[in-house]
Amino acid sequence: MKKRVCFLLAALACCLCVRAQFVSRAWCPDAGDGTYRNPVLMADYSDPDVIRVGDDYWMTSSSFNCVPGLQILHSTDLVNWEIVNAVFDRLVPEEEFSAPGHGNGVWAPSIRYHEGTYYVYWGDPDHGIYMCKSSDPRGEWSAPHLVKAGKGMIDTCPLWDDDGRAYLVHAWAGSRAGLKSVLSVAEMSPDGERLIGEEVLVFDGHAEHPTVEGPKFYKRNGYYYIFAPAGGVKPGWQIVLRSKNVYGPYECRTVMHRGDTGINGPHQGGWVDDVEGNHWFLHFQDRYAYGRVVHLQPMTWDEEDWCIIGVDTNGDGIGEPVAGYRKPASRVASAVRTPADSDDFDTPRLGLQWQWHANPGIAWYMLNPSQGFLRLYCKKQAPGLRNLWDMPNLLLQKLVAEEYTATAKLRFTPGGAGDRTGLVVMGMDYATLELRQGADGMTLCYNVCKNAIDGAAEERLAEIPFDGGDIWLRVTIGKGALCDFSYSTDGKRFKKLPGSFKAREGRWIGAKLGFYASSEGTATDGRTDIDYLHVER
């Protein structure tokens, strides 16, 4: 009853505002004094790209096999971000992604605005270059369109030139193409729907900039610029290429590196200007289990039309990442906001922070907003499933801070022996706090799976009899991604399970947190009703 009253009050408040804003209790980059701290997104938004249209900034990032895919984030100051949409609900080819395709799918997208239309391009390393478009980033996007079929074409970015012609730059995945550390440019039809020219190799990074990838295409003062990271995700640096001809030859400079900072990488991102003409660069830093978190850097241009990203603190002509800075100029006062992480499940659609590990199937879940819960159904496990790494119906969200606590309240109604549900911290290793129905009754189990990516079995570290009813499951994440699990039967007094689990990243993504429900038996009517997930510092 208390929760429903709170929901009605919140709904009334929303009616009095244009849009309710969410502020995480775990991480907020806005210092409140005209400055910000990095990362501006302490969550896994790998390979970010950004544009400004008027007073609005739009960002997207790699979603790999997770759906809904290509989350769209909005900001008016590059610091306060919220998730407002996703480009698609299902990956294509649909049948291929009905099972988890870890690390496949959407690689390093770009977002652009041209003549009233927003475009998102990405490379699928196994299928080719795709594009979706929309007249409104918050609205409906077109179905994925295959611009060019092929293997190994990744990290794509278009450029519409001043004369009406269009081009596309991309990198190559050595695992599929047998070629990497090079960048190619091809002409594209002006409508952006197909490549019409031969691939021209415009840069080979093998000698000084190995593993060059993630190119972003721009034009400024008569120069074509390609921004790209090199040297690898964790130890690498940022380079900029420029030429008066779209096909080169390109000059090259290193414009940002780790230097004397603790920011490893720093890896790929996008260049954007603010409303007063100041320049900025959003990029990611790989934080292992925490994923590829997003930093915002100031950017300056010299009289010779070369840029420096960050601040050159030691005078070597190369920028270094900043820990914080003044906020970008804005004509629109931005409320403090962050992507949502807590959820009371009081709306008819899942919160935009949630993603499945594969294309959702029939009757995986339902929402009951009038009563405020999410129901997950215990779907029968597919033959040959080794552990949760192989399970498609995992409903997960990104880790959102270095240290925080996530608490879920739920009630489990099994349909028969072998039904199970629980809270999971998921990656190449994972841990679960789950309710399991056995032949002799229900138990609360604490399980850890090391090397889940290789098909290892779960190890049960604790098993406690449970009589049913409401239960609160909690995970407390500490520095170094150490996770402590606990539970409560009254929501007040929590009992910690023995030991700490060290979270591990997934395939090209950070560890994630969320829920699952499945059945090892023949029953199909088992279910769990999740009242809420609350995140706190």
Residues 358-397, buried b or exposed e (16+ Cβ, 10 A)? bbbeeeebebeeeebbbbbbbbbbeeebebbbbbbbbbbb
Q: What are phi and psi of 211, to 5 degrees?
A: 55, 35
Phi, psi of 446 (to 5 degrees): -110, 115
Q: Which of 30, 124, 187, 213 is catalytic?
A: 213
Helix (H, G, I), strand (E, B) or coil at 96: helix
Active site residue 213: yes
Per DSSP, the three-state class of 98 is helix
DSSP-assigned states of every residue in 439-490: TTEEEEEEEEETTGGGTPPPEEEEEEEE--SEEEEEEEEEGGGEEEEEEESS
Distance CA 3, CA 149 (A): 51
Query: According to DSSP H, which parts of 211-268 are helical?
Result: none
Which of 47, 286, 343, 344 is an active site residue? 47
Amino acid at 78: L
Is 312 tagged catalytic? no
Query: 519 with 528: CB under 8 angstroms?
Result: no
- Spatial contact of 202 and 184, defined as CB atoms under 8 Å apart: yes
In 10 A of CB 19, how many CB atoms?
Answer: 9
Contact 483, 475 (CB under 8 A): yes
Which residues have C-beta within 8 Å of that of residue 304, sequence separation ≥ 6?
none
Q: What's the N-to-C CA distance of the chain in angstroms?
A: 26
Would you name the residues annotated as active-site residues? 47, 213
